[in-house]
Amino acid sequence: MSTWRRTSRILLAALVTATLVTGAAEAAPRSAPAAEAAPGPAVGTPVGTPVVQGPVAGTVPGDPSAPEVEDTHPWLSTSTDLAAAGYVEEEFYLSGEADGYSTTGELLASGVPYTTRVIVRRPADPGGFNGTVLTEWQNVSAGYDLDALWSPEQIVRGGYAWVGVSAQRVGVDQLRDWSPARYGNLDVTGRGRFTADELSYDVFAQAARALRTREGAAPLGPLRAETVLAVGASQSAARMTVYYDRVLPQVEPVFDGYAHVVGPAPSRKGAEPVFHVLSETDVRTPERRADDDRYRRWEVAGTAHSGWHGQEYRKSLLDRDLGSAPAYRCDRPPFSRVPLQHVIAAAYGHLVRWAEHGVRPPSAPPLEFAPDGSKARDELGLARGGIRLSQVGVPTALNTGDNSGETFCLLFGTHIPFDEGRLDRLYPSHTGYVLAVRRADTRNVLSGYLLPGDALRNFREAVDSDIGKR
């Protein structure tokens, strides 16, 4: 067995042990006393249970324009080899009657008929399920449903079920046009009466209600959901903020916790915990909501609102389902490669423990700002402060959350590899580089910002690199 392989196993064992020890040490002092405990949620308007139909026939490869449903396939059906991981992907129709709300929380209508769809990726065997469902409000900023928070390596490794909910008009309209046979009956506007997504809040909540049933056409099949989290990125995080701040105080709670990623988060302190994860792109000012016993905010240096990981995963799917993935001309090479998904995965674990057992997540240092109001940067151009993954703490490239150029470029960040001269000055030896990566990731695991599996991946990538070998 090679030295690096033995070291890799030792590192994984040490990181796992560190995580367990850290979690045990945090649990005792962070158990809130009775005086600080959040009050039990008041029961408001009941959330309806929709009728579920499915799984819908049709798999890749299929023809979206085919007249028979079984000859089509789900929009952006994943390219991940789910079967090899013991997972399945299934799609369902949800139908019911939803209430409509304004963005200020005013009840506009009740009992409006709707039909939408959910896409489910879950363990096939209940024994591989960790009990938690990540219920994603599908992002529609690009004009179509986007499963922005589907991160297969972390989600599958953790044993989560992931469910994407089509809650908004733009996404549903595109689905109908893309495959009339498969999606032609979908409607979340009350037949054109509500075109500003007034029904979206209740549609999303009813999807969560459906995930808790195991009767009939259950979206989770044989799985029993113990914890149901609402997750959303960017515009979806903004929609979830309206729901949490304005709608949720009036209705029965159906989610156990909320993850708002690269977008806004609630200002209200409610009964359910809120985890707020921001890329460098999304931190615009030094003014922040302070952490408390129901809110936690993490800011991740060097990451972008929409980085390389998601873009690379979706490219082949958009080529398949749209004919081509969009191309962008940015002023600097786009798509930060600092893996924000690693931090999001750690946040999910904390949010589950917070929702189930009241164990508060660790706080994190904020990104720093210069006196002129811009983000503070070091001599390499990297942001100061924040959570610093090894890709920033032991850098081999300039990764930032900033860029400019065509529309959307400002969301992609920058990735500019260092030249050989700079790499040689930073890392005179390969061993020194690998050990620096290991130290940085061990600190992040101990701090609770990184999972051992992702630290091990970083370590192996460092071992396989040529850094320090010239």
CA 253 to chain centre: 21
What integer best gives the mean pLDDT of the chain? 92
Whole-angstrom Cα Rg for the chain: 22
Contacts of 105 (CB under 8 A, 6+ apart): 242, 245, 246, 247, 249, 250
Task: Let me know if residue 204 belongs to a domain.
Answer: yes
pLDDT tens string 356-371: 999 999 999 999 999 9
pLDDT tens string 427-461: 999 999 999 999 999 999 999 999 999 999 999 99
Among 257, 272, 287, identify where a domain stops: 272
pLDDT band at residue 11 using 50, 70 and 90 as cut-offs: very low
Please say whether the beta carbons of 69 and 233 come within 8 A.
Answer: no
CA distance 232 to 312: 20
Worst-scoring range by mean pLDDT, 235-239, 321-325, 346-350? Answer: 321-325
Output the six-digit token pair for 428: 């005179």
CA distance 229 to 351: 8
Structural domain containing residue 137: 51-272
Output the six-digit token pair for 447: 């701090």
Same domain? For 95 and 169 the reply is: yes
pLDDT band at residue 327 using 50, 70 and 90 as cut-offs: confident
Q: What is the mean pLDDT of residues 390-409?
A: 95
Q: What is the pLDDT of residue 10?
A: 40
Please say whether the beta carbons of 366 and 388 come within 8 A.
Answer: no
E strands in 294-447: 295-300, 397-400, 414-417
Given the structure tokens 């709707």, which residue do they identify?
114
State yes or no: pLDDT of 389 exceeds 60.
yes
In three-state secondary structure terms, 409 is helix
pLDDT tens string 368-387: 999 999 999 999 999 999 99
pLDDT tens string 251-264: 999 999 999 999 99
Q: What is the pLDDT of residue 109?
A: 98
CA distance 187 to 197: 11
CA distance 95 to 112: 11
Same domain? For 226 and 123 the reply is: yes
Task: Let me know if residue 401 belongs to a domain.
Answer: yes
State yes or no: pLDDT of 190 exceeds 90.
yes
State yes or no: pLDDT of 414 exceeds 60.
yes
State yes or no: pLDDT of 13 exceeds 90.
no
Task: Let me know if residue 451 belongs to a domain.
Answer: yes
Worst-scoring range by mean pLDDT, 15-19, 331-335, 351-355, 384-388? Answer: 15-19
Same domain? For 137 and 113 the reply is: yes
Same domain? For 119 and 29 the reply is: no
CA distance 75 to 182: 10
CA distance 70 to 57: 5
CA distance 5 to 18: 20
State yes or no: pLDDT of 7 exceeds 80.
no
Task: Let me know if residue 432 belongs to a domain.
Answer: yes
pLDDT band at residue 42 using 50, 70 and 90 as cut-offs: low
Task: Let me know if residue 438 belongs to a domain.
Answer: yes
Burial pattern 209-227, b for ≥16 Cβ within 10 A else e, equals bbbbeeeebbbbbebebeb
State yes or no: pLDDT of 232 exceeds 60.
yes
pLDDT tens string 86-112: 999 999 999 999 999 999 999 999 999
pLDDT band at residue 325 using 50, 70 and 90 as cut-offs: confident
Task: Let me know if residue 392 belongs to a domain.
Answer: yes
In three-state secondary structure terms, 121 is strand
Task: Let me know if residue 408 belongs to a domain.
Answer: yes
pLDDT band at residue 43 using 50, 70 and 90 as cut-offs: low
Cα-based torsion angle of the residue sequence 182, 48, 212, 40 in order, rounded to the nearest 10 degrees: 150
Same domain? For 55 and 31 the reply is: no
pLDDT tens string 269-280: 999 999 999 999
Kindly report the backbone phi and psi dihedral angles of residue 70, in degrees, each rounded to the nearest multiple of 5, phi listed first.
-65, -15
Q: What is the mean pLDDT of residues 182-206?
A: 98
Among 255, 272, 289, identify where a domain stops: 272
Task: Let me know if residue 337 belongs to a domain.
Answer: no
Same domain? For 387 and 251 the reply is: no
Please say whether the beta carbons of 114 and 169 come within 8 A.
Answer: no
pLDDT band at residue 130 using 50, 70 and 90 as cut-offs: very high
CA distance 271 to 172: 31
pLDDT band at residue 407 using 50, 70 and 90 as cut-offs: confident
Kindly report the backbone phi and psi dihedral angles of residue 22, in degrees, each rounded to the nearest multiple of 5, phi listed first.
-60, -45
Q: What is the mean pLDDT of residues 163-189?
A: 98
Give the count of domains, the chain: 2
Q: What pTM was estimated for this model as a whole? A: 0.91
Same domain? For 123 and 219 the reply is: yes
Give Cα separations from 148 to 266, 341, 469 (angstroms): 20, 10, 37
Residue of higher predicted confidence among 326 and 210 = 210
Same domain? For 31 and 125 the reply is: no
Please say whether the beta carbons of 123 and 222 come within 8 A.
Answer: no
In three-state secondary structure terms, 110 is strand
Residue of higher predicted confidence among 152 and 216 = 152
Same domain? For 18 and 138 the reply is: no
CA distance 80 to 154: 12
Kindly report the backbone phi and psi dihedral angles of residue 232, in degrees, each rounded to the nearest multiple of 5, phi listed first.
-160, 145
Same domain? For 78 and 177 the reply is: yes
Burial class (CB in 10 A: 0-12, 13-18, 19+), 405: middle
Give Cα separations from 402 to 152, 182, 221, 389, 409 (angstroms): 26, 39, 43, 18, 8
Bridge partners, 115 (sequence order): 95, 187
State yes or no: pLDDT of 31 exceeds 60.
no
Same domain? For 56 and 12 the reply is: no
Residue 405, Ramachandran bin (φ over 0: left; ψ between -120 and 50: alpha; else beta) = left
Among 272, 299, 317, identify where a domain stops: 272
Same domain? For 209 and 236 the reply is: yes
